Structure 1
Amino acid sequence: MFCHPPLHRTLVRLAALVTTLVLLTAAPTLVVSPAQAREDTGSDTRTASKVPVRFSVATLNLMKGMRVPGMRHDIGRVISGDASVIGFQERLFSRPALRASLPKSWTLLMPKGPTGTDDNPIAFDKDVWELEKTWSALLTGRTWRRQTGQVAHDQYGVVAVLRHRRTGHTIRAVSFHLPNHLHNRRTGGPNYHNMAGVRAMWRMADRLRDLRKGTRPEHQFVAMCDCNVTENRDLTDDLVKGRITRPLRLETNYSGRKGGSGIDYVMAERSSEFRIDSFEMYRRLVTDHPGIVATFRRVG
């Protein structure tokens, strides 16, 4: 059949258009998810409220002879304050008992070694923190007996480098115990009647400063201690304020609520993206010390 030339050109164009539409319909459809779109554009739509901007660290001195129910009660109290790291002092009962007192998601760092290496262990929640390194640090080779002031075994602190799983923030935490009968509360200075204990404290403070100097710049130095120095009577440069907190620029519960907390402290380096925002004291415990929980919040 003969077609008029203009009509023939129109039919050819229509056929080409139909062929193109058929090919487009048959091609696979590429579906891009919102997450892929964010990755492609390099944008992150996570809100600040979904990223943790705080964590809590506790110090807890254990009374000699405590059993599992008592330790479990006291640990539960400080964990109720959102503590995900606990520095213990005076661990004087069995290792299995202390491990059994912790929740299942927690792990306990008690290095084995000479007498004293495991007196001040650190526990942390594995769901919150990842362990990078741990060791026991000799703080003084000559020290005291807790009640008599006589020379006893070497004193160690337990050190742990922990990285927060969500924020990536890393802390170098150390748990330690200073000598008893160290503080003359009348003068506010050292108790020179226990000169051996005072000198041991000075050696320990020097070693703690070394541990701080060895901390990587991007890590935050955090310490938990039974310091045996009453905070509102620490009036000289020879005790905790003058030998530890001021030289290392640490903030502590010295600046917490009125009345202080006695002799137990959480200390932390100020020059960090996380600063101590508040302290809570838990006094109704089986042990004879308060549990101190310090909450850290991201600056800004």
Structure 2
Amino acid sequence: MFSLPALPRVLARPTALLAATVLLTTGAAGGPPAQAREQDRASASAAASGPGKEFVVASLNLKKGMRVAGMRHDIGQVLDGEASVIGFQERLFSRPALRAALPKSWTLLMPKGPTGTDDNPIAFDKDVWELERTWAPLLTATTWRRYSGRIAHDQYGVAAVLRHRRSGHVIRAVSFHLPNHLHNRRTGGPNYANRRGVEAMWRMASRIRSIGQRAPEGHQLVAMCDCNVTANRDTTDHLVRGRITRPLRLETNYSADRHRRGSGIDYVMGERDSDFRIHSFHSYRNLVTDHPGIVATFRRAR
């Protein structure tokens, strides 16, 4: 009479099979499967944001009269956010002092020329970026100081074409400062009590659009500014949203301070039609200067 062979002992003992399965799943470390999955997700995230797949840009408005120690502290804060490009505004102190506040691997782009060409310098980590070109575009010839009644000096920005050494991605970075007292917080539109300042802002916006529109295909416009327009209350097409961000299709940290209604005038902006988009941003507030440092992370989207 034909008889079946004896079954393996492991099949005869379901509890032993279960124990073996758990051992194989958890691994030698003995951690639970959920923990292993979490580690896998973290590894996948790290791979997705690896070298050449993201870059970080900061905007930092300096306080008049800041010394090296204060600038070094504030720059260190935004460097903790892994910024490799910083657009400064209101430098208002010596070139050697700002250079001394930067790490040794960084290059400072602060043009020499007429008054105002060096107010909005750009610094970058030359281990991350290669400089292709830099210049100081004149954004408007005259502005009006509302409270003193005097003509201010010409307003310049600083522009730099930078190529990422790992990814090859090219950005056309622009750092600038819009005139003061532009914004009527009650109406959400221009402050026509400072009409000459508002008109200067319109001229500056036109020039910034020109800088972006003349960039070769594949060059991403990245702007860093003290825009002097309060976030969440710019509700017209006559200020930053309508004059700069909408025409240039720029995304920005425009609502950087959702918890404080109406606050926030410092921005990092990035062109939407690009392989890299703003993935996240952080506002650093424990600084010597009287502005927050805005740090935006750009991540490859396609």
With structure 2 as the length reference, what TM-score do the two structures score?
Answer: 0.81
* Residue of structure 2 equivalent to 1:206: 206
Q: How far apart are the structure 1 equivalents of 2:115 and 2:288?
A: 26
Q: Pick closer, same or farther for the CA change 1:49–1:251 going to 2, 3 Å.
A: closer
Q: Secondary structure at the match of 1:293?
A: strand
Please say if residues 84 and 128 of structure 2, whose CA atoms lie closer than 8 Å, have aligned partners that are also in contact.
yes
Q: Secondary structure at the match of 1:288?
A: coil
Q: How many residues align?
A: 254
Letter in 2 for 1:225: C
Letter in 1 for 2:108: L
Letter in 1 for 2:144: W
Please say if residues 256 and 278 of structure 1, whose CA atoms lie closer than 8 Å, have aligned partners that are also in contact.
no
* Residue of structure 2 equivalent to 1:185: 185
Q: Secondary structure at the match of 1:265?
A: strand
* Residue of structure 1 equivalent to 2:285: 283
- Residue pairs, 1:1-300, within 5 angstroms: 51-145=51-145, 148=148, 150-256=150-256, 258-259=258-259, 262-300=264-302
The offset of 1:148, in angstroms, is: 3.1
Q: How far apart are the structure 1 equivalents of 2:56 and 2:66?
A: 24
Letter in 2 for 1:102: L
The offset of 1:72, in angstroms, is: 0.1
Q: How far apart are the structure 1 equivalents of 2:106 and 2:152?
A: 32
Q: Pick closer, same or farther for the CA change 1:210–1:259 going to 2, 3 Å.
A: farther
CA deviation map 1:114-137 (0-9, x unaligned): 000010000000000000000000
* Residue of structure 2 equivalent to 1:24: none
Q: Secondary structure at the match of 1:297?
A: strand
CA deviation map 1:13-60 (0-9, x unaligned): xxxxxxxxxxxxxxxxxxxxxxxxxxxxxxxxxx86754311100000
The offset of 1:238, in angstroms, is: 0.5
* Residue of structure 2 equivalent to 1:16: none
Please say if residues 85 and 124 of structure 1, whose CA atoms lie closer than 8 Å, have aligned partners that are also in contact.
yes
The offset of 1:144, in angstroms, is: 3.0
Looking at CA atoms only, which structure, 1 or 2, has the larger radius of gyration? 1
Q: Pick closer, same or farther for the CA change 1:143–1:128 going to 2, 3 Å.
A: same
Please say if residues 147 and 180 of structure 1, whose CA atoms lie closer than 8 Å, have aligned partners that are also in contact.
no
Please say if residues 149 and 194 of structure 1, whose CA atoms lie closer than 8 Å, have aligned partners that are also in contact.
no
Please say if residues 232 and 259 of structure 1, whose CA atoms lie closer than 8 Å, have aligned partners that are also in contact.
no
The offset of 1:110, in angstroms, is: 0.4
The offset of 1:254, in angstroms, is: 1.5
CA deviation map 1:149-178 (0-9, x unaligned): 631110000000000000000000000000
Q: Pick closer, same or farther for the CA change 1:90–1:162 going to 2, 3 Å.
A: same
Gaps of 5+ in 2: 1-46
Q: Give the percent of matched residue pairs that are identical in Structure 1 and Structure 2.
A: 76
Q: Pick closer, same or farther for the CA change 1:256–1:63 going to 2, 3 Å.
A: closer
Q: Pick closer, same or farther for the CA change 1:243–1:149 going to 2, 3 Å.
A: farther
Q: How far apart are the structure 1 equivalents of 2:73 and 2:48?
A: 34
* Residue of structure 2 equivalent to 1:13: none
Q: How far apart are the structure 1 equivalents of 2:277 and 2:124?
A: 19
Q: How far apart are the structure 1 equivalents of 2:256 and 2:95?
A: 33
Please say if residues 264 and 290 of structure 1, whose CA atoms lie closer than 8 Å, have aligned partners that are also in contact.
yes
Q: How far apart are the structure 1 equivalents of 2:228 and 2:257?
A: 19
Q: How far apart are the structure 1 equivalents of 2:49 and 2:182?
A: 45
Q: How far apart are the structure 2 equivalents of 1:146 and 1:291?
A: 27
Q: How far apart are the structure 2 equivalents of 1:149 and 1:108?
A: 34
**Larger CA deviation: 138-147 vs 72-81:** 138-147
Q: How far apart are the structure 1 equivalents of 2:146 and 2:160?
A: 25
The offset of 1:258, in angstroms, is: 2.0
Q: How far apart are the structure 2 equivalents of 1:82 and 1:49?
A: 13
The offset of 1:259, in angstroms, is: 3.8
Letter in 2 for 1:247: P
With structure 1 as the length reference, what TM-score do the two structures score?
Answer: 0.82
Q: How far apart are the structure 1 equivalents of 2:149 and 2:53?
A: 44
Letter in 1 for 2:253: N
The offset of 1:256, in angstroms, is: 4.6
